């Protein structure tokens, strides 16, 4: 396992410029297999950097409820999605993300869920053994014929649904966050490719501002059961797939607190503490924003202000 981990890290930080070649498979003919799913250097495309959990609120009263799911700038995309499942990537409907593609005949699947629990494919349990042919970084190589993966080589779930962007979000940044997708996926908005993500247990967040339009929009996600990330996600567990955590649409001002860290340094008696707050301000706009003040306010449950501190913030450059 240590040797495998070292090998994976070596691939991730290596400087080799040649693309990782996807092995051809002559058993099933059809669509191409995306090179990204077998490239250990590709852990995401167009993903936003990781940050602390955050949610803008319309006012202080909303914020004091401490329920980000009730923010005016939050919309859930959980619920019913159109769904198609195939056992090989070559069999998938490659054009399903196009707005002209008719999915009305597809079945529905609930999100979040694992597709095996919903009746698609085979659930595996394994405590340490790879359930696909070990041939790093490939996940499409032929295993023994008595393996389930011989016939279900790398199942793909194609998900689609429509959503509406509220009119009062106009002029703001709009993000979509997938809290957990096993194992890797591509995303499109209104037929335009947005990005790709692996690392199934961490959130994948995308800025979709330039892809959405007022009113009704369409999101498509193409989920692969195995990627090179599956070599590290080989844990003692049921191996299940799909969009298995929340999907969220949310909005921010063009300039907002993008990340923060709060540290409490307690005294030796553990009675009093010094609170340190640091924050990163991101300006997504096209022009610089003048210097302002950053306010950190400690508010108790009743709404009474206990502590407030202001600090000058430098001008935020565009982008």
Shared-domain flag, residues 174 and 285: no
Q: What is the reported pLDDT for 139?
A: 96
Opening angle at CA 176, ends 172 and 181, nearest 5: 170
Domain match, 55 and 130 both: yes
Among candidate residues 252, 270, 285, the one where a domain is terminated? 252
What pLDDT, on a 0 to 100 scale, did the predictor assign at position 314? 59
Verify that 300 and 242 share a domain, yes or no. no
Query: What is the residue-level pLDDT of the chain in tens, covering all 319 positions?
Result: 444 443 443 333 333 333 333 343 434 668 899 999 999 999 999 999 999 999 999 998 898 888 999 999 999 999 999 999 999 999 999 999 999 999 999 999 999 999 999 999 999 898 888 999 999 999 999 999 999 999 999 999 999 999 999 999 999 999 999 999 999 999 999 999 999 999 899 999 999 999 999 899 999 999 999 999 999 988 888 999 999 999 999 999 999 899 999 999 999 999 998 888 889 998 988 778 787 788 888 887 666 666 666 565 555 565 6
DSSP assignments along 252-307, one per residue: E-SEEEEEEEEEEEE-TTSS-EEEEEEEEEEE-SSS-B--EEEEEEEE-TTS-EEE
Residue 210 shares a structural domain with residue 223: yes
Secondary structure (3-state) at 38: helix
Q: What is the pLDDT of residue 49?
A: 94
Place of tokens 């914020």: 63
Both 136 and 259 in one domain: the answer is no
Residues 77 and 158 in one domain: yes
Q: Which domain holds residue 264?
A: 255-313
Residue 235 has a pLDDT of: 84
Neighbour count for residue 192 (Cβ, 10 Å): 14
User: 289 and 180 share a domain?
Assistant: no
In a domain, 318, yes or no: no
The Cα–Cα gap between 245 and 177 comes to 10
**Tokens, residue 212:** 């959405």
Shared-domain flag, residues 245 and 269: no
Q: What is the pLDDT of residue 305?
A: 63
Q: How deeply is 50 buried, as exposed, middle or buried, from its count of CB atoms within 10 A (0-12, 13-18, 19+)?
A: exposed
Between vectors from CA 38 to CA 37 and to CA 44, what angle results, nearest 5°? 50
Q: Decide if 12 is inside a domain.
A: yes
Strands 124-126 and 237-239, bridge-based pairing: antiparallel
Is residue 41 one of the residues assigned to a domain?
yes
């Amino acid at each position: 396992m240590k040797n495998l981990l070292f090998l994976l890290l070596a691939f991730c930080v290596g400087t080799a410029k040649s693309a990782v070649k996807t092995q051809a498979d002559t058993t099933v003919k059809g669509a191409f297999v995306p090179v990204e799913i077998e490239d250990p250097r590709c852990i995401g495309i167009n993903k936003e950097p990781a940050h602390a959990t955050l949610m803008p609120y319309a006012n202080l009263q909303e914020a004091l409820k401490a329920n980000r799911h009730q923010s005016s700038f939050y919309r859930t995309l959980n619920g019913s999605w159109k769904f198609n499942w195939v056992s090989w990537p070559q069999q998938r409907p490659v054009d399903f993300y196009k707005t002209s593609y008719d999915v009305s005949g597809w079945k529905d699947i609930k999100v979040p869920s694992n597709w095996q629990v919903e009746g698609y494919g085979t659930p595996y349990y394994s405590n340490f053994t790879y359930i696909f042919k070990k041939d790093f970084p490939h996940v499409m190589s032929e295993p023994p014929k008595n393996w389930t993966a011989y016939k279900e080589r790398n199942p793909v779930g194609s998900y689609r649904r429509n959503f509406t962007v509220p009119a009062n979000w106009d002029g703001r940044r709009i993000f979509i966050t997938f809290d957990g997708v096993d194992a890797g996926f591509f995303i499109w908005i209104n037929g335009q490719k947005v990005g790709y993500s692996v690392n199934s247990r961490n959130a994948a967040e995308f800025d979709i501002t330039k892809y959405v339009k007022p009113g009704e929009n369409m999101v498509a996600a193409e989920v692969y059961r195995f990627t090179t990330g599956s070599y590290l996600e080989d844990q003692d567990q049921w191996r299940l797939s799909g969009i298995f955590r929340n999907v969220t649409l949310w909005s921010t001002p063009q300039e907002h607190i993008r990340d923060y860290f709060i540290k409490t340094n307690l005294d030796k008696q553990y009675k009093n503490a010094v609170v340190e707050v640091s924050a990163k301000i991101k300006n997504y706009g096209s022009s610089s924003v003048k210097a302002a003040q950053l306010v950190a306010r400690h508010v108790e449950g009743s709404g009474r202000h206990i502590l407030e501190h202001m600090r000058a913030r430098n001008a935020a450059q565009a982008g």
